[in-house]
Amino acid sequence: MTRRLLALAALAFATSASAETIAIVDARLMTMTAAGEVERGTIVIRDGRITAIGPGVAVPVGARVIDGRGGTVTPGFIQADSTLGAVEVSQVPASADRATHSAAISAGFDISLGLNPDSILLPVSRLAGITHAVTTPLYDDRGGRDLQFAGQAAVIDLAQRPDMVTRPRAAMVLEMGEGGAERAGGARGSAIVELKATLADVRHFAAHRVAYDRGEGRPQKLSRVDLEALIPVAEGRMSLIVKVDRASDIREIIALAREEKLRVIFDGAEEGWRVAADIAAAKFPVILDPLADLPHSFSELGATMENAARLHAAGVMVIIKTGSGVAHRARELRYGAGNAVAYGLPHDAAVAAITVNPARVFGVADRVGSLEAGRAADLVLWNGDPLEPLSQPQAIFVEGVEKPLTARPLELRDRYLPR
């Protein structure tokens, strides 16, 4: 009964919060649009959407005013390549839905199904300015090491509501390079040949579904579920997130993508700076960890903390992630962006790398990732530079709903502090 009352109270709060008119005044606005930065501006939010933004915006009569003096408003941050919502306690298998080892499901694994909106990791990440995440499936190390694909990623919001999925099946996840070679028999060449064969099978299946259902036609290695899931990839309608690091592997994927007409997003790319011109020419975005500078394998010998700056300078769209996909470290996102600035990435480019860039790449830029009239009010008011570790959020809105500035770790701290 108590839980039901709490849920009803939370719903009532969310509804009333999204229905009122709110004005954030006298703040520095990082719009991430052609309007650039506004040094002292106002944002008006009504019914969960931005209705006006700029330096000379009048505050509507009756609006609740939030004083943003000395602060900065940014779009909500987007943590790419995360497992937020799909894991609670890493060492408790029943609470981890981030991977499958089913022999019949590889590409067909849809991580948007079965996510947990009540995860206590969501408010912790939200307090770091993260309002959305690209939840990405992993390969399961307990078994199924020969699975070719990890599955399909999804864009989620961190509002902690049942309809948390902003965009399901946003991209397909594939590991190539060293990891792909291991799954394909131990050689990189095998992984490339296997991928080409898979794409040929998918295209054949798409053209001969009726024959397949009658048990006719050529045999297929993948299950029907996987074949169906890969059709958008083979047709160039779904992006393929390719986890790869070595410069030569990146070149191979670029050539393969050109031949097969694939849309590729590089993930990792620790030696990406060495082939930055090739990546820029291919117009493929790169998701990277700006703190990666210690080679853990021969594929990462060229790792450097200047990777983001060098790729950006070459014209590559950079997306920053942190924590190597570990949900418990998602909150470090803005620290990683700040480190990228320390190693040469322009400040506005670093903010773009955790806001508008991932929004564009994963198909949600019409809703979030920038501050613009008509967009959902998905934003954070900071009391200082958002990439400065000492700065803290003063107000957080997720898809138009203002969220409390608390999380379970803070509640436990307050509960057990000496009185």
What is the model's pLDDT at position 324? 65
Same domain, 69 and 111: no
**Count of residues for the chain?**
419
User: How far apart are alpha carbons 246 and 178 in whole angstroms?
Assistant: 9
201-180-100 Cα angle (round to 5): 80
Q: Within this chain, do residues 356 and 402 fall inside the same structural domain, yes or no? A: no
- pLDDT mean by block of 10 residues, the chain; 419 residues: 46 57 97 95 96 95 95 97 88 82 89 94 96 93 73 96 95 95 90 96 93 84 94 98 97 98 97 98 97 90 96 98 80 96 98 98 97 96 96 96 93 88
* pTM of the predicted structure, to 2 decimals: 0.92
Say what the pLDDT of residue 185 is: 87
Cβ atoms of 17 and 4 within 8 Å: the answer is: no
**In angstroms, what CA-CA distances link 182 with 25, 146, 179, 253, 255?**
55, 8, 5, 17, 21
Residues 112 and 166 in one domain: yes
Report the pLDDT value the prediction gives residue 183, as an integer from 0 to 100.
Answer: 87
Q: Tell which of 328, 347, 368 closes a domain.
A: 368
* Encoded tokens for 413: 């701290």
The pLDDT of residue 2 is 42
Q: What is the pLDDT of residue 5?
A: 44
**Both 156 and 51 in a single domain?**
no
258 lies in the same domain as 352: yes
Compute and round to an integer the Cα radius of gyration of the chain: 22
- Work out the angle between the directed axes of helices 188-207 and 247-260 (0-180°, nearest 10): 20
User: Within this chain, do residues 227 and 118 fall inside the same structural domain, yes or no?
Assistant: yes
Domain shared by 235 and 315, yes or no:
yes
Task: Domain count for the chain, please give it.
Answer: 2
Q: Cβ–Cβ contacts within 10 Å for residue 8, how many? A: 10
Using H for helix, E for strand and C for coil, what is the string for the chain? Answer: CHHHHHHHHHHHHHHHHHHCEEEEEEEEEECCCCCCEEEEEEEEEECCEEEEEECCCCCCCCCEEEECCCCEEEECEEEEEECCCCECCCCCHHHECCCCCCCCCCCCCECCCCCCCCCCHHHHHHCCCEEEEEECCCCCCCCCCCCCEEEEEEEEECCCCCCCEEEEEEEEEEECHHHHHHHCCCCHHHHHHHHHHHHHHHHHHHHCHHHHHCCCCCCCCCCHHHHHHHHHHHCCCCEEEEEECCHHHHHHHHHHHHHHCCCEEEEECCCHHHHHHHHHHHCCCEEECCCCCCCCCHHHCCCCCCHHHHHHHCCCCEEECCHHHCHHHHHHHHHHHHHHHHCCCCHHHHHHCCCHHHHHHCCCCCCCCCCCCCCECCEEEECCCCCCCCCCEEEEEECCEEECCCCHHHHHHHHHCCC
Q: Residues 279, 283, 289, CA angle at the centre, nearest 5°?
A: 60
**Structure confidence at residue 44 (pLDDT):** 97
Note whether 176 and 255 are same-domain residues.
yes
* CATH number reported for the structural domain that contains residue 295 in this entry: 3.20.20.140
- 285 and 408 together in one domain: no
Residue 350 has a pLDDT of 98
Q: Which residues form the domain of 231?
A: 77-368
Residues 410 and 266 in one domain: no
Residue 23 shares a structural domain with residue 92 = no
Q: Is residue 111 within 8 Å of 151, Cβ to Cβ?
A: yes
User: Which pLDDT value is given to residue 121?
Assistant: 94
Residue 189 tokens, joined: 């060449």
For position 4, what pLDDT does the model report?
47
